[in-house]
Structure 1
């Protein structure tokens, strides 16, 4: 399989998401319906990163605050210009109320080629400890072997488990 052949399905999915308004709305509504005040971790892979990002912003706009401890993005295309430039939220930044955003990439994952989310999505609340989002400076790098974009290869990594466990069982205050 060539790289071009491998990219056809994800490109088709992205195109439909961005170009079919009713589909995009339905997807965001469905995802948003599963995120409530008890949700501690939201994980996105590939197009799921885009959906998670936009859904969390919509929820932040519709309520006083999200309570999500971790937005974990793996194999994220959010930084690619054709995606980044079509995101609804301007200026770009972490969704309000997300306490931490960890981005994990395989350097060989072409879908996640523009992976430095901390630069592309600056936190407007950096100086406000109570409101800022903790972001990993550089993306965390993993080696997914022969399947650099495979979601399961990302999720079985110890670094994913560490951040998920940290969000689900934070140290006492």
Structure 2
């Protein structure tokens, strides 16, 4: 893990760790925190705190997903290439865009970068017929993720007026911090699901959920 990755991961964990879980981790001796060289010390302590809330390796899974998000947002030209690849699969009749996990960041990013969509007029990005964005298991509620997207603290996530946004999340999904997005996205509709204890972040389980099916069909989640 590079120093820049460590800083971002520590900030992201700090955003989602609850005070009571951090207090628990602070009380534990270093010997129970795992091999000292596996993670930097401050990451290790935060991981134990997050694992206290989401047992079963939730902290490590969160770190992996955050490193993916950071790579997408910081590696030179990667985001531009990914957006272009996704846009190539949006047809003139595509009406619903669904993004899961990092995909939700990419999907939201599509609406923010009209300048790299030549030939399309403002409001027609990512496609002229798109009227609904569905995000699942999204990390967009994490302040450090939004800051990396150059969204200032206190600023809201916004879509064009004609696009409705439904966000589906499982309160046990570690990538979401167990929370929805309505507090940072005015007009967004949050819908909760229960994906089971095995993998609350599962893309398949999200896509099979009733709120997603209803939203795709044009109804309320």
Coarse TM-score class (shorter-chain normalised): 0.7 to 0.9
**Dislocated runs of 4+, deviation >4 Å:** 88-91
Distance 1:35 1:115, change over 3 A: farther
- Contact kept, 8 Å, 2:58 with 2:174, in 1: the verdict is no
User: Taking structure 1 as the reference length, what is the TM-score of the superposition?
Assistant: 0.77
Give the count of matched residue pairs: 154
Structural mapping, 1:1-173, within 5 Å: 2-59=57-114, 63-66=121-124, 67-88=129-150, 91-113=155-177, 115-122=179-186, 135-136=188-189, 139-146=190-197, 147-166=199-218
Larger Rg belongs to:
2
Unaligned runs of 5+ in 1: 123-133, 168-173
Deviation at 1:111, TM superposition (A): 0.8
RMSD (Å) for aligned C-alpha atoms: 2.4
Q: Distance in 2 between matches of 1:163 and 1:144?
A: 17
1:16/1:98 CA distance change after superposition, 3 Å: farther
In 2: Cα distance, 1:27 partner to 1:158 partner: 29
Indicate the structure with greater helix content. 2
CA deviations on 1:35-59 (whole Å, 9 max, x unpaired) are 3542200000000000000012223
TM-score, normalisation: structure 2: 0.62
